[in-house]
Structure 1
């Protein structure tokens, strides 16, 4: 099944822009792409959400948002406070499976980290990934603290017999500090999976045409790009001084 779960080690680390980059690269290869956001929080009706941002940056993708809650909280909490029904893993899996019958690639972007609660039973995005048998991509920050957060996320995936495809750095700084440069070598060990890309900080602010042109240089061949971890680490070390 061509479904990839895009999760993160936390919130505000670049999941949406990484999702857009993956979509842009797939579209450039002539594939059809759908982007599914199970729960959008922190936005009112009519405001453009994460799937709209992916479409703006990447191009003509099918976008689906299952639920929206106005307060910027975990989905289960936001649903409860809004007096609205939550989104459970079964609903996420059904929607993703339907999209997978109609598209070459389905990207499911989570909310926050892997184990954020979606409903009052404690169900998480990991439960949806298990139902789908889907690959999981983890988006992580570049700097200090990311090794621990990434290791914990990878451990949670392994405990649930889920496949971690790899890690993408969501916001690579223009001037990386020592921790960020060292993390290029250490993140694969912490994750037990390869580093599959680094999206530059501020990429979401690029014009869509430039974003689509550059996206292939941010992702590794496993994600249909041409980014190379060894070359990137060497150049980052030289550039970092």
Structure 2
């Protein structure tokens, strides 16, 4: 996977910390990593964005941000309200492709969910992934309601002939409720893809060195980790 897109089933799901964990696991194996954030919203100039947070947690990654819009809105809306040009799918694909010539792995972190609008034509992160025929990793919530949202996301990917390697739970609670525990078994059947990891609640608050050391234990081998879904569920 030279280029891997990372999307979520909604906002505040754990996309950034999951992206950081994938980056840290790859770096731990000696791979070079770049992180591309096509559209950063809700962050003012000079403030650290999601890509900078990935670098803080994961370590020495190349960071690139294509556009920044100050209001915490969908990229198309935020661009329009700021009077700025939106990000187009071909710009995302071109930037990712260039980074892939210089790095072993390029992680492209979306904004919100898969079908959030990037411009006035209705283009989405999925359109950028299609241009590269790149796989899309889905980050999901652990608890009640997540199965439907995750199934809708993976169904949208299949409808666009995009590969989804699997689902990662972006924040696994310290005291999981019944729905969360049952979802571990239900995710693969509902989403039609394997469960590839679970990040512990509060992972982003760990010291970076501890985060990097622990990251492979949160991710399955497909993502350069050692996590095992069956053992975790047990």
Partner of 2:82: 82
Measure how far apart 1:123 and its partner are: 0.1
**C-alpha distance in 2 between matches for 1:44 and 1:56:** 18
| Partner of residue 204, structure 2 | 204
Length, aligned pairs only: 234
Q: Deviation at 1:191?
A: 1.1
Which residue matches 1:238? none
Unaligned 5+ runs, structure 2: none
Q: How well do the aligned residues superpose, as a CA RMSD in angstroms?
A: 0.5
Query: How far 1:48 moved relative to its partner?
Result: 0.2
Instruction: Tell me what 1:37 maps to.
Output: 37
SS of corresponding position for 2:115: coil
Residue equivalent to 2:127: 127
1:61 aligns with 2:61: yes
Q: What is the match of residue 9 of structure 2?
A: 9
Q: Deviations over 1:143-193 (max 9, x none)?
A: 000000000001100110100110000000000000000000001111100
**In 2, Cα distance between the equivalents of 1:210 and 1:117?**
36
Cα deviation, 1:65-123, whole Å, max 9, x if unaligned, reads 00000000000000000000000100000000000000000000000000000000000
Q: CA deviation at 1:50?
A: 0.3
1:227 & 1:155 partners in 2: Cα distance? 25
Could you tell me how far apart the structure 1 residues matched to 2:96 and 2:25 are? 20
- Deviations 1:215-240 (Å, cap 9, x if unpaired)? 01000011110000000001xxxxxx
Aligned to 1:98: 98
Unaligned runs of 5+ in 1: 235-241
Q: For residue 10 of structure 1, give the secondary structure of its aligned residue in structure 2.
A: coil
Which residue matches 2:185? 185
What whole-Å deviation, never above 9, does each CA across 1:185-211 have from its counterpart, x for those lacking one? Answer: 001111100000000010000000000
1:46 is the counterpart of 2:46 = yes
3-state DSSP of counterpart to 1:164: coil
Task: Provide the rounded CA distance (Å) in 2 between the counterparts of 1:25 and 1:190.
Answer: 27
Classify the secondary structure of the residue corresponding to 2:219.
Answer: coil
Instruction: Find the aligned partners of 1:155 and 1:58 in 2 and give their Cα distance.
Output: 31
Equivalent-residue separation in structure 2 for 1:40 and 1:97 (angstroms): 19
State yes or no: 1:110 paired with 2:110.
yes
Q: Look up the match of 1:223.
A: 223
Which residue does the alignment assign to 2:150?
150
Distance 1:33 1:221 in 2: 17
Q: Deviations over 1:35-66 (max 9, x none)?
A: 00000000110000000000000000000000
What secondary structure does 2:84 align onto? coil
- Flag as ranges the 4+ runs of structure 1 deviating above 3 A: none
